[in-house]
Structure 1
């Protein structure tokens, strides 16, 4: 029709009858009207064809802040190369993934080709947002409105393939009380390469205590659940803000034989922020230490039966303070013993935090060696710990009852420290009065003794039938090994102490070289040696291992190694712990 109008030619001008001028005017007007109608239509068709070269679409216009949506951008123009400026999207959205594909297809005999970009976007804020217009080769896509709601308020929330849930075990707590924060990731599709934001709360101590994977059905649909549990201890009162957490993961099954997985998509999930009220310590609380716990207990144990307590023999008392919902650093020290007739040697306390699904259980273990200096009846005072029961919301007290025991034996001097000589013995010269050349001479003697000791072992290894070293040589070697054994006890390494003890026995009693420590202790009839072997066996082989009390072990070792005749065996009894008893 257009070509007909453009090729139309008017006939030569001629004279017309009287009635013809009106008809010619009508024909001219009709042609002009057709031009006026066709030209706008052609312009609209041209503009419409140009606007469809770059189109944008989304899979949904309304979602929650913790969800994502897909933006599809298609260019079907004749120019090739290049891509839109996707940085314009980063003002309101996070670009989680972007894929590009070139497609050519024939539909109903009509061929078409286009370039398509697929982007997964996550909103950065709530409210009314817009996917901005994008530009490519002079073409402009339309802006698309997006409505972002709060987490979990989207109409499609029940149909989400993956979402986050945050659960608090209480909505109100006291300062320094444990708060359990459980973060659960639900998904109905395969997820891998999951990256999470660490939970960080200013003014609170946080520890991850548990991690579980299980399955849960929601409205008849099975969901795989990945759960993280955090223990949070607020350090001050007021409102405690649990911030929103971001999870980023990749959907689809991972193909280890493919470098590119076109079906995989990167998604971002966002949890809902929470607020909990933290109350200060109650004014009614009368304890010396603020201990808000779910439970608290005291346990006492002894290294041997206290009914067999004798003067001068050390015995170890072990008290364990354990609290559910408190860290070990929050537990107070136990009161010290100060009883006439008893000497105490406390060891360094041991602290341990045991995490679990119910949070943290802290424990404090205090070990004390007790030595009685005179016989009689003694009573250890009760140990009372006041704490706040977070389950019932009231103050409670846990008490370790007083303990009474009897000590048998003969009184000894209390002025002599463990392992030292009798005060009545002749005074020994002090180190401060030794002449300048003493240490040099002592070093020469030690080196010579050590060389003799090495020669002895070399000779024994070469010829077992050779005569033993002289008594003086073995005495010198014994002094060196005894000194090494004392140093090992200070380090409290049970296996090194055991090895040093074996070496010491082999030097002091060579005839016992082929038997075990237990058998040697029984043959020599040395009760202190049997105690040392028992302590080392408990620390090395017992499960769980029993802690070593260094003070007790030092006392026992001093009693064993201190003998005037280290060669002749058990001909003379070993001296008591204190040498103050007169004979």
Structure 2
């Protein structure tokens, strides 16, 4: 009985032994065929909504073993994050490699995450349902909270030729890798950006936003109703899914609202240049300053600077009027190029004119009048600045400024015939008196000559100073100073220049060329070397003149 029992046990154990042997034999094959798996954090998403894709395999493998470029046709994806782990449980060792990345579907419909081949293993396909943004409340709310675009204008009723300010604001609450904003548009509108973008930070509903503000000037070119197509914001946002580290770049598009405006035509009864604006300011200044515009005394050749400033609200720079003034022939005019700028909604033009009287007498400088249409009162208005009456006189120092000092000639020696005096008599006393008188006369002559030389030295010093100032102004290219110093220098050098009429004419022509070039509307440069060379010639002529008489000339022989 015991033998039979033992044989039965042996017979029962044999199949189990066989199965165990087979299982042990197959273990290496299972280890080679590692299991790969792909999962997603959600399979119903909105367009551009970021979700998480995880790919894993239960073995240690090269991190570059997965090719994620197969996602490109239907998905945008970020840089994958790779992790590896090793565990030992009850003596059994296991390894695992996991890839995690952010993914977003590009188009509405059904999208498929393809199978990833990892070594000899492969993941299964995953089907994703992609909805419109409006169908996914969470996605829409997220987009609105992250980026917002608003636009506003000053007024929606204006005249042809009038301008309004279009202000667009962008609230950005997420990281953007790149962004752009297009200008508004509309049929019959001229659009130009005004100034630079302004940036500041705000906190809204507990969240911090970067606010970018940009201004555009819209000028109406035709009457009627016009729709302003709002500015369009395009950018790429760097987003992650559920707070994991890897991020993805997804497009962000937001448009400002459209705005309708009404453009009025030019009134038929209006005459003159059409200039619609709510405010026009016309001002002027004179240099040197004047207190009485009806009686200003000046000299021939002395420059007067007239600065005219025109400020017009809601008018484009291209619509600013040209300022044309007709001056009498008795003055020479140099116009600087107008300067333009934008200031608090005003277009500002500054025009500077240099006026130089050419001859003596009464000179009337013209006023300036500008007609414009007041868009607030809807009436025609006129702005005016007065002219100036000049009493031009000759320079009183022109004739005696550089008069030559008197030449002092020593008295001629008196020759007397020699006589033999046998008796002194009264002659010794007479001789003594004449000798004293001669000595007194000599002392007075020496003193007067010293004063003359001092006066000559002072005059020469003054000449040197004005010459230095003139040369400094020429080197600095300051035409007003050059003109002023040149007139003074010309008067001081009159005695030298009258002997060189050709040189004098060259100097006058060169100064006029300098002024004409500086105030020309064309961009041109003036070469100051010619004028400096002419001044050097005058210096050389002055240096070759006969030196003034010295004190030694009066020494008795």
Q: TM-score range by the shorter chain?
A: 0.5 to 0.7
CA distance in 1, matches of 2:390, 2:339: 33
Conserved 8 A contact 2:300-2:392:
no
User: Which of 306, 322, 328 is matched with 2:317 structurally?
Assistant: 328
CA distance in 2, matches of 1:347, 1:154: 66
The equivalent residue for 2:133 is 148
The equivalent residue for 1:289 is 273
1:507 matches 2:537? yes
The equivalent residue for 2:515 is 489
User: Which of 79, 86, 96 is matched with 2:71 structurally?
Assistant: 86
RMSD: 5.0
User: Which of 297, 317, 337 is matched with 1:350 structurally?
Assistant: 337
**Residues 365/170 of structure 1: CA separation in 2 closer, same or farther (3 Å cut):** same
Equivalent residue of 1:143, what SS? strand
**Residues 274/291 of structure 1: CA separation in 2 closer, same or farther (3 Å cut):** farther
Offset at 1:209?
A: 1.3
Conserved 8 A contact 1:355-1:361:
yes
Conserved 8 A contact 2:49-2:139:
no
Larger Rg: 2
**Residues 195/188 of structure 1: CA separation in 2 closer, same or farther (3 Å cut):** closer
Conserved 8 A contact 1:325-1:362:
no
The equivalent residue for 1:216 is 202
The equivalent residue for 1:275 is 258
Equivalent residue of 2:515, what SS? helix
Q: Across the two proteins, how many residue pairs are aligned to each other? A: 378
Q: Any residues of structure 2 matched to 1:409-424 within 5 Å, and which?
A: none
1:136 matches 2:115? yes
CA distance in 1, matches of 2:512, 2:342: 38
CA distance in 2, matches of 1:267, 1:199: 23
1:101 matches 2:81? yes
The equivalent residue for 2:229 is 241
Residues 191-224 of structure 1 deviation map (CA, whole Å, 9 limit, x = unaligned): 4754324436365332241322222221243333
Conserved 8 A contact 1:69-1:122:
no
**Residues 323/347 of structure 1: CA separation in 2 closer, same or farther (3 Å cut):** farther
Offset at 1:176?
A: 4.2
Residues 247-269 of structure 1 deviation map (CA, whole Å, 9 limit, x = unaligned): 335579xxxxxxxx965654543
Equivalent residue of 1:488, what SS? helix
Offset at 1:331?
A: 0.7
Offset at 1:486?
A: 4.5
Conserved 8 A contact 1:84-1:135:
no
TM-score by length of 1: 0.51
Offset at 1:383?
A: 0.8
CA distance in 1, matches of 2:180, 2:154: 24
1:74 matches 2:20? no
**Residues 251/75 of structure 1: CA separation in 2 closer, same or farther (3 Å cut):** closer
Q: Any residues of structure 2 matched to 1:312-327 within 5 Å, and which?
A: 315-327=304-316
TM-score by length of 2: 0.53
Q: Any residues of structure 2 matched to 1:292-441 within 5 Å, and which?
A: 292-304=276-288, 305=290, 307-309=295-297, 315-337=304-326, 347-348=334-335, 350-355=337-342, 358-359=344-345, 361-365=347-351, 367=353, 369=355, 371=357, 375=361, 378=364, 380-381=366-367, 383-389=369-375, 392=376, 394-395=378-379, 397-403=381-387, 405=389, 407=391
Residues 249-305 of structure 1 deviation map (CA, whole Å, 9 limit, x = unaligned): 5579xxxxxxxx965654543322332234334343725334344532111223444
Offset at 1:101?
A: 3.4
Conserved 8 A contact 2:341-2:347:
yes
**Residues 283/499 of structure 1: CA separation in 2 closer, same or farther (3 Å cut):** same
**Residues 479/311 of structure 1: CA separation in 2 closer, same or farther (3 Å cut):** closer
CA distance in 1, matches of 2:256, 2:137: 12
Q: Any residues of structure 2 matched to 1:527-542 within 5 Å, and which?
A: none
CA distance in 2, matches of 1:199, 1:150: 30
Equivalent residue of 1:491, what SS? helix
CA distance in 2, matches of 1:488, 1:377: 24
Equivalent residue of 1:277, what SS? strand
CA distance in 1, matches of 2:136, 2:389: 65
User: Which of 214, 235, 248 is matched with 1:228 structurally?
Assistant: 214
Conserved 8 A contact 2:325-2:368:
no
Offset at 1:342?
A: 5.7
CA distance in 2, matches of 1:231, 1:100: 46
CA distance in 2, matches of 1:484, 1:371: 18
User: Which of 162, 165, 180 is matched with 2:165 structurally?
Assistant: 180
Conserved 8 A contact 2:330-2:363:
no
Offset at 1:163?
A: 1.2
Offset at 1:386?
A: 0.5
| Unpaired segments ≥5 residues, structure 2 | 1-34, 117-121, 395-495, 547-557
Conserved 8 A contact 2:184-2:228:
no
Offset at 1:136?
A: 2.1
1:206 matches 2:195? no
Residues 422-474 of structure 1 deviation map (CA, whole Å, 9 limit, x = unaligned): xxxxxxxxxxxxxxxxxxxxxxxxxxxxxxxxxxxxxxxxxxxxxxxx99998
CA distance in 2, matches of 1:279, 1:151: 38
CA distance in 2, matches of 1:213, 1:485: 50
